[in-house]
Structure 1
Amino acid sequence: MELFDVYPLMDVTPISGKGCYVTDERGTEYLDLYGGHAVISIGHSHPHYVKRISDQLEKIGFYSNSVINPLQQEFARKLGELSGLNDYNLFLCNSGAEANENALKLASFTTGKKRVIAFDKAFHGRTSAAVSVTDNVRIQANINKGMDVSFLPLNEAGLVEEELKSGDVCAVIIEGIQGIGGVQIPKDSFLKELELLCKKYDCKLILDEIQSGYGRSGMFFAFQYADIKPDIITTAKGMANGFPIGGVLINPDIEARHGMLGATFGGNYLACAAGLAVLEVMESEALIRNAAETGEFLLSELGEMDGIKEVRGRGLMIGLEFDSEVAGLRKKLVKEEHIFTGVSSTNIIRLLPPLSLTVEQATVFTKALGRLLAP
């Protein structure tokens, strides 16, 4: 049997990792500024993370959600404490797309409505409802096109209100920072207006923090720069440093009922152990503050570099837009400089490193990029 060919692959085979580096089968070490697509939050093979999961596996790895799991309760308390959202409730699932599926369902359950407002360049996942609110027809099959979704420009509150006036919208879903869309940042004032409009027209504001959350922006969640309280928050990628997990944080105004949501593997013992390890390391090593400080350094250095059209981002979620395609530049970064980076569209390099990235490691990248961009 062969693998279904859906990913364009880099010609690299990492077999080990430590901190912000991965090593291939030939012993070549690479600086990882891609973080496995924003997943590696505390660094590869962090010893506390490895021990937490190993210790848990020796006790019990899995049981269904039909019993009390103290690790789920501990995880919810710790997440509330570090995020500042102690009054929210937590539903645990397995991925970001699944988190968005449940968030959209919850909004429809609680409002009785079914239309959704999303935004141009949005990406919310590849499952049925999540891909329906994703602004990319190439990844939508015909079966995904039955949902009633309106895509609007970012930062245009007046257009949002015009759509809400119909009274049939159950949710407005927006990323804290658009990732696939090119590291586009909603204005803080726009998020504030969305919060007010959703209250005015009885619909739910869903903040998709799957990529921009968990300290990546220099705040626990990127929407916290705007000082708002969304109805529903979704998170996943950085939650467990590579162990599959997703979460839906639900405003206490939304009342739960048995059977409303469910997941077989969601919040299992190993996932919660991994998630707790991440939160513990984030706290003990002050990784959110580090993301803000190292990100500020990178934004400053890259903003002054010739050859880059525009630099956008917050914390360690940074987009470098160029006038031409970046495939060749990314390949040189890997082959010649041994540095992994991400991409958005064809002309934007995306930086999503572990939150433990140091200024010294960031400088390795800026110097390497400067060499490659030099005339």
Structure 2
Amino acid sequence: MELFDVYPLYDITPVSAKGLTLVDDHGVEYLDLYGGHAVISIGHGHPRYVNRVKEQLDKIGFYSNAVQNPLQQQLMDALGALSGCDDYRLFLCNSGAEANENALKLASFHTGKSRVIAFHNSFHGRTSAAVATTDNPGINAPINKQQQVTFLNFNDLSSLEKELQKGDVCAVILEAIQGVGGLDEPSTPFYRELSKLCHEHNVVLIADEVQSGFGRSGKFFAFQHHGVDPDIISIAKGMGNGFPVGGILIHPKFKASHGMLGTTFGGNHLACAASLAVLEVLEEEQLIRNASEMGEYFTSCASGIPEVKRVKGKGLMLGLEFDFEVAPLRKRLIVNQHIFTGSAKDKHVLRILPALNVSREQIDQFFTALKKELA
């Protein structure tokens, strides 16, 4: 049997990892400034995380949501306290795509409507309605294109209001910082007016925080930079530091009923233990503050490099924009400098998504390497 060939692979085989360091099967060390698509939030092999998961596995790893699981309540308490969203309800699932699927489904249940407004360069997942709201025709199969989705530009209030006035929209979904798309952001006035218009037209506002959540932007959620209150917040990636876990935070105005949403693996004991460990480390080590401070330091370092046209994003969800396509540069950074970075839909943007405990020294290491490769 062979793998279905859908991923272009670098010829690198990591066999161990600690903090922000990956080690391959030849003993070569790599600085990880990508975290497997922003998944590694507290560093590889963090002892609190490892111990939490190991201890839970010794007790019980999984049983269905048909029984009580006190870890879910512990997770809700910790998540509510640290995020400031303690009045929301939590539904747990397994991934960002699944989180957005459930968010869109719940919005449609709530409004009785089906059309969705999304934004150009968005990425919300690869399944069903989530991929239909993703602005990439190449990954939308005909079965996905049956969904009713309208794509708009950020900051285009006139078009947004015209679409909402048609009365058939169930939800508006957006990333406060676009991940795969290339770190573009809506302005604060636009996000606030969007929130107001959604409320006026009984349209559900979904904040996709799958990549930007759990402290990555320098606040717990990126929408908190704009002072809005979404109806549903989707979460995943950094939530489990590598363990598959996702979910949605749901405003109390939504009424639940048995069977409305469901999941086999979501909210299992190991997933809750992993996410609890992440929240504990974020708080104890003040990693959200570190994300903000290191983001500012990174930006200051980048300002001295003439080839960098601008730094995009916030906190440790960053992109360096060049006037050339960055794929060859990214490859040289991996092969020559042993540093992992990321790409984006915008081929001129190099994405930087390190664990939130990245240090100044590691950022300095990156910029020393970058200058060598640019030279």
User: What are the superposed Cα offsets for residues 53-87 of structure 1, whole Å, 9 maximum, x if unpaired?
Assistant: 00000000110000110001110110000000010
Q: Distance in 2 between matches of 1:27 and 1:283?
A: 33
Aligned to 1:320: 320
What runs of 5+ residues in structure 1 fail to find an aligned partner? none
Report 1:19-34 matches (<5 A).
19-34=19-34
Aligned to 1:110: 110
The farther-off stretch of 61-70 and 324-333 is 324-333
Aligned to 2:236: 236
| Alpha-carbon shift at residue 188 of structure 1 (Å) | 1.5
User: What are the superposed Cα offsets for residues 273-332 of structure 1, whole Å, 9 maximum, x if unpaired?
Assistant: 000000001111000000000011101211331112222110001111122221111111
| Length, aligned pairs only | 374
Q: Distance in 2 between matches of 1:144 and 1:331?
A: 33
Aligned to 2:362: 361
Q: Distance in 1 between matches of 2:219 and 2:279?
A: 14
User: What are the superposed Cα offsets for residues 344-367 of structure 1, whole Å, 9 maximum, x if unpaired?
Assistant: 022211000000101111111011
User: What are the superposed Cα offsets for residues 19-65 of structure 1, whole Å, 9 maximum, x if unpaired?
Assistant: 01111111111110001110000000001100000000000011000
| Alpha-carbon shift at residue 218 of structure 1 (Å) | 0.3
Report 1:123-202 matches (<5 A).
123-202=123-202
| Alpha-carbon shift at residue 186 of structure 1 (Å) | 1.4
| Alpha-carbon shift at residue 342 of structure 1 (Å) | 0.4
Q: Distance in 2 between matches of 1:176 and 1:245?
A: 21
Aligned to 2:96: 96
Aligned to 1:82: 82
User: What are the superposed Cα offsets for residues 197-220 of structure 1, whole Å, 9 maximum, x if unpaired?
Assistant: 000101100000001111000000
The farther-off stretch of 183-192 and 127-136 is 183-192
Q: Distance in 2 between matches of 1:156 and 1:357?
A: 36
4+ residue stretches of structure 1 with deviation over 4 A? Answer: none
Which secondary structure state, in structure 2, belongs to the residue aligned with residue 343 of structure 1?
coil
Aligned to 1:60: 60
User: What are the superposed Cα offsets for residues 100-148 of structure 1, whole Å, 9 maximum, x if unpaired?
Assistant: 0000000000011111000000000000000000000000011101111
Aligned partner letter, 1:15: V
**TM-score (norm. length: structure 2):** 0.99
Aligned partner letter, 1:363: D
The farther-off stretch of 143-152 and 305-314 is 305-314
Aligned partner letter, 1:232: I
Q: Distance in 1 between matches of 2:48 and 2:273?
A: 11
User: What are the superposed Cα offsets for residues 227-286 of structure 1, whole Å, 9 maximum, x if unpaired?
Assistant: 111000001000010000001000111111111100000000000000000000111100
**TM-score (norm. length: structure 1):** 0.99
- Alpha carbons 1:299, 1:313 under 8 Å: kept: no
Aligned to 1:208: 208
Q: Distance in 1 between matches of 2:226 and 2:253?
A: 20
Which secondary structure state, in structure 2, belongs to the residue aligned with residue 142 of structure 1?
coil
Aligned to 2:285: 285
Q: Percent identity?
A: 62
Aligned to 1:221: 221
| Alpha-carbon shift at residue 372 of structure 1 (Å) | 1.4
Aligned to 2:269: 269
Aligned to 2:249: 249
- Alpha carbons 1:118, 1:150 under 8 Å: kept: yes
Aligned to 1:333: 333
Aligned to 1:349: 350
